[in-house]
A and B are shown apart, each in its own frame.
Chain A
Amino acid sequence: MALDNIIERCQDLYDDLRFSYVKEWKAAQPGRHAIGYMPVYVPRELIHAAGMLPVGILGGGDQLDVIHGDAYYQSYICRIPRSTIELALTGRLDDLDGMLFPSTCDVIRNLSGMWQLKFGDKLIRYFDVPQDFDPAVGGKYYVYELQSLRDELAQLAGRPITDDDLRQSIALYNENRAVISELYAYRSREPWQVLTHELYLLLRAGMILPVDEHTQLLRDYMVAARNTKRPVRDNCRVVMNGLFCEQPPLGLLKSIELAGCYVVDDDFLLVARWLLDDVPLAGDPLQNLCDAFLTRSLETSCKFVPQQKDKGAYLLASVRDNHAEGVIFAAPSFCDPALLDRPMLQRVLTENNIPYTAFKYSENSGQMQPIREQAGTFADSIKLWSAA
């Protein structure tokens, strides 16, 4: 498939706030169920193993007018819960048979409560992940949480979710993560070949397409990208941080690229990369998912770091591993996790002489000129005045 066609397909899925794909997927085989989930992490393997379609619900972006949603939240709350409830109140999420709200922050937790009040006839679950990484404490709790979700999904599916079902799903998601990891490595090596706004659209497609179809799409993209010669620019290499929940408008990503930056790592849509390695297929699948979460998962602002000395280590490693020359902190307005973490992360960068710049956005930000100016002058300062 040609590069443009792949991106066009992803763009169509991205633009469709009516989730027509979900409707078509369900209509193709009566009795199918679709389960929505919000950022940052849920174990999609469980949903898939139940024969259901996991659907990432990531707010309304910059194409949705929030009319009812503002009545549900104070003015000092970020935009993603308002636009998400707007999606539901306007019938756009009617094809979903359930929603999972992970423990990203208090706002998302509150949203799960609103869902219970408004849409109590569906499967609604606040999915609480452990912040204690001791297997005897957090691990025990998390296996219980996974089993509880498994039971609820099985009840909705009308059949048990067997260990073999789970293993098959885990294998598919292992494969998907491996291909995404390959894509990220490709972008880091040749960022002019994998444009970040395209990578983002590809990941977004994975929020709605079945996992095997998405894996193939990623492979097709990489083949097409390797067959497409794109010009090398004198851009600086940056890591973007803080965009793990409320989504950046596509225009923001394009602005960063136009401003002279190659994004070589980011924290978009972490659900697709949360587990760092393959989850073993042998043994108890729930225990394996739990162990992967406890010991081999990504770090972000939503995850507790027990040792202060370890705070920001993942960001430093990302900068070094990807040969980045700077960091762009882009956090949604009123995002407690990202904005509370930012000073600590900035301190770590300062101590290591890594330049950074910071701004805020919301999913419907429209005026990109200030961001372009800021990112552009940041890129200039790196290109002209850095020691490297």
Chain B
Amino acid sequence: MTRAAGIDLGTGVVKIAVFDVIDGETTWLGKHASRIRRRDPLVLARQGYEALLAELGIEPDSVDYIATTGDGENIPFRTGHFYSMTTHARGASYLRPGVRAVVDIGALHGRAISTDERGKVLTYRMTSQCASGSGQFLENIARYLGVALEEVGEISQQSDAPETVSSICAVLAETDVINMISRGISTPNILKGIHLAMASRLVKLLKSIKVREGEALLTGGLATDQGLLDAMREQVIEQKLNVTIDGHPDSIYAGAIGAALWGAFRHDKLAQADHAIPASSLDDYDASAPFTQTEVSQEASDCPLTGTRPVQGGECPAGEIDRLRRDSVE
């Protein structure tokens, strides 16, 4: 038996999943998610991991492989790290066996991924220079409108005349929204307009990787937003694709699931080659280790629009992540 944990350190939420794998049969033991808010993501990841193991009655030493994904390459007790598209593809194939396309919508990125039956990434495309295809953008808008993030989808579904929003630039789109508010446009119509703008970009990504039929699963932090799901379905029709867009109640865990399953796979592969890596002991690491954003993520070039430095990924102005953490509603 191989026991593996996956930790998906997102921009807004830490997601954790633990699996047992016996002869290829997977058992999902448990999951944990916590919003980062003002807290140190590294400390939060460790606390969440320890809390989940305690809840499951699992000894840390019984975990063979701790796999991280998202921004988790800084988690010191990881065994290995996998990139987000790799883990989301695997997570999607676990949640919905047979799916061949994934749309991962996180706080910073939107990605369309096509996969094979094993969850191997065949091709992908992601939103480029601007945050307007991302959850971060939607959270900002929700905050301007005084709407809790959890209510966004339901309110959007009440729209009767969605307003057109710039789908190119988050800064311009935010200006659009301010104008709409001053013109008295209703909140549902603003939110639906936002959803449609995001959906338009995401469906174009699917088209760009030549996904024109079959099923696509939404994953990532916004996957359970019903308003966005509806908008995606409308855009699929609008853009003349024969694709069924669907979500899953555990879609937000796709990255953590994929990380855990790939971790188990790697553990077995290394063990077969007699190169198994001993899992890290949490005792070796300081539980209060500060989150040290590496120089790598601090070296992003200036945003051409705002003149400020984008955060990791080059997607939004400096301070945006901190602002999200401060302002997010648990």
Contacts and interface: CB of A to CB of B under 8 A. Distances in A.
A207 B209 CA distance: 48
B254 to A, nearest CB: 16
A367 interface: yes
Contacts of A379: 83
Contacts of B277: 232-234
Contacts of A255: 296
Given A231-B284, A380-B86, A385-B120, A366 B300 contact: yes
A376 B77 CA distance: 18
Is the interface on chain B under 10, 10 to 19, 20 to 34, or 35 or more residues?
A: 20 to 34
B295 interface: yes
B154 interface: no
A369 B299 CA distance: 9
Interface string B54-79: 00000000000100000001101111
A377 B85 contact: yes
Given A234-B79, A234-B266, A377-B86, A384 B299 contact: no
A384 B270 CA distance: 11
B265 A258 contact: no
A258 B312 CA distance: 13
B284 A383 contact: no
Interface string A84-122: 000000000000000000000000000000000000000
B82 A380 contact: yes
Interface residues of A, number: 29
B55 to A, nearest CB: 26
B81 interface: yes
Interface stretch (A209-217, A219-227, A246-254): A246-254
A231 B76 contact: yes
B68 to A, nearest CB: 10
Interface string B103-121: 0000000000000000011
B227 interface: no
Interface of A: 62, 229, 231-235, 249-251, 254-255, 258-260, 366-369, 372-373, 376-377, 379-380, 383-385, 388
5 contacts: A231-B76, A231-B77, A234-B270, A383-B80, A384-B265
Given A258-B294, A366-B300, 18 more contacts: A229-B284, A231-B280, A232-B278, A233-B81, A249-B299, A251-B296, A258-B74, A259-B83, A367-B300, A367-B314, A368-B297, A373-B83, A376-B81, A377-B83, A380-B83, A383-B82, A384-B120, A385-B120
